[in-house]
Chains A and B, each alone.
Chain A
Amino acid sequence: MTVRTTRTTRAVKTVRTTRTVRPRITTGTAGPGRPALAAGALLALLALSATACGADQPPSLFADGTVQVGTKNDQPGTAVVRNYKFSGFDTAVARQVLKAVDAKPDFGIVPSEDRRAVLTDKTKDLVVATYSITVDRMKDLDFVGPYATTYEGLMVRKRDNRIKKPDDVNGKRVCTWPGTTAANTLESPRYNRIQVYEAPDASTCINDLKVKKTADAVSIDQMILYGFTQENPDLKVVPDITYGSANQYGIAMAKGHRQDCLKLRDALRNYLGDNAWSQDFATSLPSIPKADATWETDFKPRLETVDSLSCRDRPGT
């Protein structure tokens, strides 16, 4: 499995089209054909204007039916690769909303810290990778979402009963990884009694907690933590400990595709409005319905929130 770094030829096609229709403006002497020349020049000018207007509109991301989607490969439950196939709730959401716009995803792996870059440098069309919507990120990217809502939580070894309430974490080594809002939250002075450290990625944190035992806990969004417990039965999520405010996961895209963004927003609204969301969530993350009786209330976003955060430069109120 490799990360696809090439871009489709869509942009190249646009340039070629522009070149072929660009009119050549010539000056000539007056003669019998002057009205015809004038009419020709006018038509050429109109064609040039039309081409210029057309060039302002970027081609639809869904035009060729396949959309390059960046996602994770190491988060069981949300996005993971098994036998060269992507699965998890993020990938289910991507498939569902793209199906509504007659497109299908071509998944590629994107680490947390590269999620913004792959969109701005046009390596990917969309990123669906437990990417939280923040005011800062909305300035650079458009989001469709949230498609899920989750608090940051704590995961410990199943037999470790030292951590049951927030104060128990003081003095403990807590692993997280860069590029996440979780790492940002725990850097706050409110949590300065927790020994937070960053590992390169999720897998390293899990290894530190489970095998090396150099970490007492791993902190990231509860939805992701529950996913890890599905493949690591010797780990558990501490139910009564959350940090910060709720993360709102969104489908990210580069700015400049507002029409596509609005189409995906409508698709997401429909997806949230019927049973498909709950079925996909329960299929991908069965550990959550088992642990949380009010899981639909806790993890399913409201449609009003989708309207407030989708396809905007700052949250609507």
Chain B
Amino acid sequence: MSNIHPYVGRANTRVDGPLKVSGLAKYSAEFGAEDLAYAAAVPSAVAKGRITALDVSAALAAPGVIEVLSHKNRIDFPEDDEPFKNDMVAVPGSPFRPFRDDKIHYAGQAIALVVADTHENARYAATLVKATYDVETPNVDVATSANYYDPPEKRDGIPPPPDPRGDAKGAFDRAPIKVESDYRVVAEHHNPMELQATTVIWEGDGRLLVHNKTQGVVNPKNYICSVFGLDEDKVRFFSPYVGGAFGMALRPHYDVFLAVMASLKLERSVRLVLTRAQMFTMGWRPDCLQTLSLGAETSGKLTSITHHAIQATSMFEDYQEPIVNWSGLLYDCDNVSLKYELGKVDTSTPSDMRAPGATTGVFALECAMDELSYAAGVDPIELRLLNYSDHDQNDDKPFSSKELKAAYEQGAERFGWSKRSFEPRSMKEGHELIGYGMATGCWEAMTMPHKARATLTADGKLEVACATADIGTGTYTILAQIGADALGVDIAEVTSKVGDTSLPMAPVEGGSWAAASAGSAVKLACEALKEELLKHARGLDNSPLANASLDLVTFSNGRIALKADLAKAVSVADVLKSAGVEKLDGEAGYAPDEEFTKKYAGYTHGACFVEVRVDEELGVIRLVRIVSAIAAGKILNPLTARSQILGGVVMGCGMALHEETKWDKTLGRVMNANLGEYHVPAHADIPEVDVIFVDEEDGSNPLGIKGLGEIGIVGAAAAVANAVFHATGKRVRELPITIDKLL
């Protein structure tokens, strides 16, 4: 059956697909236990202040209520910050601790946890908890924060903006063509479809089995063991399916903290499912004010870029996603000044949301480039080619690969960009103005250390395992593809395992690094397994492979054969039998190639093309066509890869046209904390999206891949905004572009 290989590079349907379409895939709120109790979190009614009294008597007296926990009767946890920073995604500052004391930091903060025998009883009793507060006036608007500052402590692993190069101000002053504009990307919430949830199974003897919605089981396990002083050997996190996350489930949230606390206190199993409104009381894409100035020659060649961003963060942590950085490397320019500041607001701490930083910053840069194209009278693609850069000027390194020109070319061709008339408001049909817009995107191609295991059993079945997550990204499938190819087995014989702390270590799945990192680790583990198999095969009596090395043999269909003479072969079953084992394992770790990353800058790139139609009188915007051309190294699975780009593009469309978290500025509360009024795109909003992957060779990891989770969104909102400008002549610099802004 060698004709089935390679799987890698082919459009294989999801190996977890049949479970997902039949409702059998189990998400974190869907694991049960005989002694399961149900918890409900009670949200703070005020945004800032102190709880002066908390009356839980009515709640305790309500039917079925087992316990009401709060800051008054919580179990002990450490006072200092450090144990709470045992979180791979922690940011500088003092992490939020539910029930630490009577202080209210933001509206909706959990002030109590009701535990009852049923979901209904817990939900009802939660409404009976009565708190009184000393209320202070909150500020939830970064535009009115007390001051803006350069965060004194930088976030681990996230480079701050590079030092200025050249003389951006002087070059801008001298530039014959200038554009300078303010942009605002408003607050957004991730809103994955699955509610944030934790089910803690109390297994007795202090043993906990925790099902928690997370982008990486290792992280919340480390955190929980650290903050509650638990024995790591007694705690297992198992979250095989994750109902979307987009960055929201990188950090451990209060659901896992409170559910574990309740379980420890009550010594029984506990489930806590947050409400949709409570999903707005944790991580979010921060509100950001930006000023972007571009100076250029009359040809459109950039001579100056100045990008200043002021981003919201909470009062207690300095969340950082240096929004301006991409403006220093996307285009060739010798005079660049980037400034990134924070402003504090009385909300929960923002968090990474799909392409954090780049989504916000590249929106402004790509709108500004569009403004420049009109100022210089140069076609938007021509302008970008004129300013093309093969070199990351931020880090002074060449890109490891960058086929962005091919993306521009193939995307433009597929889209029919040549039919665009340059002038705004120049294309029309019926009541509708027609606009073509485009924008560039880029995102880091990163990898992280991962471990993996590959196990072959005598029946020829292969298991590949890594503690990473599949949040919808297709991890299960691509790991199975890699394993199937490595061992030469049918993919139906391969089982992928992820989302379990009993598996080899992986960090959180984020930053688009999981496929390249976990995939490489699985590939290396399979190589180790093959070595192990061959070692035993060589030792068989009269082994035809006695002197063979790994490069001289091939693994196929349960057999190891000499490449030179396929008749000379042994079966895997015989190898295991003679070794006297049921199965053989190979384990390996992948770590980024530091020599390579020292030499090269790794980025994915994309070009997004959008056609909009805008009712001239009514401002109704329709997306008509989208082409997203992506350069992201080798594509493991065009089917699931395309879906990742689709997802990014659709979220970018939501950012452009729909999404905005609206706080009441007096009360400090999110007023549209639901899916009815926080609009994400619906079926009717989204047209066919054409995804192109251009060929790109990259040598940064054994698979030659770069990751696709983020690149689809970067630039997508700018492409929509630019198309709206082209259609209407109205430049909307504050998202989302709603009807009122076009009247």
Q: Do A and B come from one complex?
A: no
Binding site for B on A (CB under 8 A): none
Residues of B that sit less than 8 Å from A by CB: none
